[in-house]
Structure 1
Amino acid sequence: MTLPTAKSTPSMPSSKNIPQEAFDWYDEYAHGDIDRRTFLSRLGTLSVTGLTLSVVAGALTPNYALAEQVSFNDPEITASYVEFDSPNGHGKARGYLVIPKDVDMTNKAPAVLVAHENRGLNPYIEDVARRLAKAGFIAFAPDALFPLGGYPGNDDEGRAMQKTLDGNKIEGDFMDAATLLKNHSFSTGKVGMVGFCFGGYLTNALVAAMPDTIQAGAPYYGTPAKSNIDKIKAPLQLHFAELDKRVNDSWPDYEKALKANKVDYTAYVYPTANHGFHNDSTARYQEKNAELAWERTIQFFNKALNA
């Protein structure tokens, strides 16, 4: 199978030209600590040579047209939206299922559950699912916003919608999605999970809550599981951004707990990277770090799920 290569985004200003304060404020904004008005007001206080406020704000907010690496119509995959029962969540849920063309009931493959950020199933996460399928995995990316009609097409509205949902029910939807993958007729029964930001937290949480289902976890800049760390059986490959103080502050205590419970883990910190460095739709994207992290993730899943 042909693996996708990262796409550069030349229409964005270089992240080197944007002050670190702008990235920090965007992180606060993206996680609901400040509103859009405050975010833009703070950006207006910066002096950025050659860049206007609108250009900097535009570079920091997602432009999903720039991010696609694998087409929906790629001949090596089959992508579709699938509804499923979620008795542990909202009753009914929906996700984006991507299957390699050569996988069927007689030629099965391991599966990977993909967990989105705090704004629903946006095009970037769908593309991540397609990348996994290109690498030979059945990939499934649920949309936490399905009970409210699904991802609305923009991140601001998606973020506001997700905040209104019961977090325990969101976790339940993803748990039932993991069970679906384990039992899928094309699946070998081996399931991994990768998630980004809020999805990184979900990955940590489900590895702890479903030790007999999730057999490998790769959280990207995710905060720790809140409970059941002592139940973790699966290996973890954790990805952190050097400049992501909010998430990184939670790591020392989490690492102590992983060590105390003899969890098999590897943690990588990517230099000069900000939270969201894997997301290739904004100026936070760092191609070199993102490609390295993704290469490591695919190798990790191959080792853990194909043994």
Structure 2
Amino acid sequence: MEDSLINRRGFTAASLATGFALAVLPVSAETITTDTDSIDAEMVQVPVAGGATMGAYRAVPKWTGKGGGHPVVLVVQEIFGVHEHIRDLCRRLAKSGYYAIAPDLYFRQGDATKVADIPTLVRDIVSKVPDEQVMADLDATVAYVAAHGKGDTSRLAITGFCWGGRIVWLYSAHNPDLKAGAAWYGRLVGGTDPLHPKNPIDLVNQLNAPVLGLYGAKDESIPVSSVEQMRAALADGDKAAKDCKIMVFNDSGHGFNADYRPSYNPADAKVAWKQMLEWFKRNGVPYVPHA
């Protein structure tokens, strides 16, 4: 079944580029596009603090969820924003029975998809996004799902990639109602500043839900030494920390699930995705694919 969800390939370079962030072009011929058969996928507007609204991409199964609501997965963007890859991940999750929603967490600072180079993106947008704001906007996203039906926020998980991988750890320490998290190659240690005062390793004993960490041994931006440092801290932590699990894929580097980039490792990505779904199921956020 999994392969049938992601088998639409063979597009021209021009069509592949549609919807992707400028900073990631050109995209790879291995890029996966998941269709919308049996799911509804659209942009929605989420009310947030200050009377503003935040765009979010959501994908929801068309079939009725158990008890009337589908388990919910917050999908946290890469550094490049909510571009086509993140939207496709939402569709994949919806195919597995989840209400998946990816809020545009940079919307106050700018449109990351329109920035053509990474240094400018980091300087002008990413560095200016406060962690406190991100936590509040994720809370607002959960409230939106709860208010609009179809999603059962009592069964809530979060996953994030790259920049979003770090946010997964932070949100587990923030939301006491979270059931599980899956952090893909998110930074664990490093410098801090007033807008980003804590690293995941600083929050080990504040975690509310177990997190599955998915990392690559060849990741030059997140060295294995920092991953092992986090693993040791979790082992010495309290119950939620001890329940966490970190997997390191020896043949992969940063972004190994990013099928639109040269870093993509299809074998490891497939294993890691399956591990994530099983992790959610084991921790009270079961997936229920349509028969």
Pairwise TM-score range, normalised by the shorter structure: 0.7 to 0.9
* 1:166–1:232 CA distance, 2 compared to 1 (3 A): closer
In 2, Cα distance between equivalents of 1:90 and 1:265 = 37
The answer to whether the aligner puts 1:222 opposite 2:186 as a matched pair is: yes
Larger Rg: 1
The aligned amino acid for 2:204 is I
TM-score normalised by length of structure 1: 0.73
1:141 aligned residue: 102
In 1, Cα distance between equivalents of 2:225 and 2:126 = 24
In 1, Cα distance between equivalents of 2:139 and 2:259 = 27
The aligned amino acid for 2:286 is N
* 1:274–1:61 CA distance, 2 compared to 1 (3 A): farther
Q: Counterpart of 1:284 in 2: which secondary structure?
A: coil
- Residues 266-297 of structure 1 deviation map (CA, whole Å, 9 limit, x = unaligned): 21111221100100001110111111111111
2:48 aligned residue: 86
**Count of aligned pairs between the two proteins:** 257
* 1:255–1:183 CA distance, 2 compared to 1 (3 A): farther
1:208 and 1:227 in contact (8 A); partners too: no
The answer to whether the aligner puts 1:276 opposite 2:236 as a matched pair is: no
Cα deviation, residue 178, structure 1: 3.4
Cα deviation, residue 301, structure 1: 1.6
- Residues 43-77 of structure 1 deviation map (CA, whole Å, 9 limit, x = unaligned): xxxxxxxxxxxxxxx9x855177523312xx2211
Q: Structure 1: which 5+ runs fail to align? A: 13-57
User: 222, 225, 232: which one pairs with 1:249?
Assistant: 225
The answer to whether the aligner puts 1:171 opposite 2:146 as a matched pair is: no
The answer to whether the aligner puts 1:290 opposite 2:265 as a matched pair is: no
1:119 and 1:162 in contact (8 A); partners too: no
- Residues 181-214 of structure 1 deviation map (CA, whole Å, 9 limit, x = unaligned): 455522222110110111000001001111x222
2:70 and 2:150 in contact (8 A); partners too: yes
The aligned amino acid for 1:146 is F
1:132 and 1:139 in contact (8 A); partners too: yes
2:149 aligned residue: 185
Q: Counterpart of 1:246 in 2: which secondary structure?
A: coil
The answer to whether the aligner puts 1:234 opposite 2:209 as a matched pair is: yes
1:209 aligned residue: 174
In 2, Cα distance between equivalents of 1:244 and 1:205 = 21
In 2, Cα distance between equivalents of 1:103 and 1:113 = 19
1:302 aligned residue: 281
Q: Structure 2: which 5+ runs fail to align? A: 14-22, 189-199
Q: What root-mean-square deviation, in Å, do the aligned CA atoms of Structure 1 and Structure 2 show?
A: 3.1
Cα deviation, residue 254, structure 1: 2.0
2:60 aligned residue: 99
TM-score normalised by length of structure 2: 0.77
- Residues 118-146 of structure 1 deviation map (CA, whole Å, 9 limit, x = unaligned): 12111101100110000110000011232
The aligned amino acid for 2:221 is R
* 1:101–1:203 CA distance, 2 compared to 1 (3 A): same
- Residues 152-193 of structure 1 deviation map (CA, whole Å, 9 limit, x = unaligned): 345536554333433432332223223434555222221101
2:82 aligned residue: 121
In 2, Cα distance between equivalents of 1:98 and 1:10 = 22
Cα deviation, residue 228, structure 1: 3.7
